[in-house]
Structure 1
């Protein structure tokens, strides 16, 4: 990998991981649309680690409160008395919403990797789920925060998240869509989506590391370090500005981008 490829892929991963435009689609398309060789599993692990560090650092105070409250909620006495801690409840909902995508990933990962990574499938995912996102944003109701989610809400969002295995769907896009349809505010939907990314990226990176261990290769440590740093910085600023402006800009600019990109892919590859 040359340094231009390292920089471009790292920044793309950092930005698209949390914007509702599909990071997997963009990382698949870059080598398709350029003469670059595939970046390899090792680099994918590095840039995902950067995104993970970004969201953990950004939400460090929230995650600390949630972790402490969740551990306290496991206390036998607390369970008997009932737990009304909003941070513990949110932590439980994040864990619950992670289960469907884990099960779907284990069951369908190989089939999706082989059969659905073509530009045409990506175009379909971008357009179809972009239109659903548009509908959810246009018809949003009076917004609740992520702390007002119910178990049912968390499970529905988790089931929606499993659809992100389809290239072009966007994990953040589909979870934000589901949350908006359930009555969360744009900020609440985005924050819950970002919190959901922590266990998902941890588990996905874990699978990639297993594959890396099973098929060891030469590692360019300087490229890996640059990937972590650049992906982390771009992801951090993406989270910050997305949350800062989401109430004003809404989801429509991302919908337009998804549809234009999807139609362009159909025009080129259909």
Structure 2
């Protein structure tokens, strides 16, 4: 019987650190961390590190986003409580807070449905290299459309519950490896007329509950496999590099989008998908 990809690959400290960097840099850029954390080690001959390992180092990304947006989160939470107390339901903090809350519901429901309908998702064709490649190509085209069509008139202060729900629905697409949570929500934000930095900022805040829940579920998977394969030291090394690189990626993207478009990510994702399909066709990598 083939070993489940939920088991952790036997990674060295250096390999784990490299994958931590890959996780951190791709978690918050609109290029799909799930795709890269599978494709990169397979391309390097290390094998699929497994969903459990991925979820563990993703905890580093959770720590980094909480670290970076702690001030924003505190303001939204306290502002929401204050708005409820004073019945000021038109305040920006209340609208943003409620938007995050309702926007998290779709991916929670979608995740539960996926668990029930595809119990062995780790080994599903949806996690195959070809599926990841097609998802990357499709999302590159959607982001290009959003970049071309987006009016970019709405600021962060203009956002509310409806935006949270629509971006939350877009976020559920990230359950499919290769889509990218930040990519799908950023695309939705641009199509809803948001400025690029506003769409990215709200995308990050909206992603905090979803990323945290995914990390908790993944940690349970990690405990279930008994920390097999990769050593504790390697896991910690991957966690640390994921935390640092995630923080740097968040700061860089928010600053980048103030003066640049998303076309660099469109072309990157298109090329990424095409290279994977070409590698499969030439037999350089297996489609699994």
TM-score, shorter chain, exceeding 0.5:
yes
Shift of 1:46: 3.2
* TM-score, structure 1 as length reference: 0.92
Gaps of 5+ in 2: 1-10, 282-288
Task: Report matched runs for 1:191-210 at 5 Å.
Answer: 191-210=201-220
Partner of 2:45: 35
1:268 to 255, 262, 279: 279
Is 1:229 aligned with 2:240? Answer: yes
For 2:175 and 2:202, how far apart are their aligned partners in 1? 19
Task: Report matched runs for 1:177-188 at 5 Å.
Answer: 177-188=187-198
Contact 2:57-2:239 at 8 Å conserved across structures: yes
Q: SS at 2:257's partner residue?
A: helix
Shift of 1:152: 2.1
Q: Deviations over 1:138-170 (max 9, x none)?
A: 222132123312322221111111111111111
Is 1:20 aligned with 2:30? Answer: yes
Contact 1:46-1:225 at 8 Å conserved across structures: no
Is 1:102 aligned with 2:112? Answer: no
* TM-score, structure 2 as length reference: 0.86
Count of residues in Structure 1 that have an aligned counterpart in Structure 2: 266
For 2:102 and 2:114, how far apart are their aligned partners in 1? 20
Q: Deviations over 1:10-50 (max 9, x none)?
A: 00000000000000000111232122144345532332111
Partner of 1:47: 57
Contact 1:160-1:175 at 8 Å conserved across structures: yes
Q: CA RMSD in A?
A: 1.8
1:93 to 91, 99, 124: 99
Gaps of 5+ in 1: none
Partner of 2:260: 249
Report the CA distance shift for 1:73/1:38 in structure 2 as closer, same or farther (over 3 A).
same
For 1:244 and 1:155, how far apart are their aligned partners in 2? 26
Give the number of the structure whose residues are more often helix, by fraction: 1
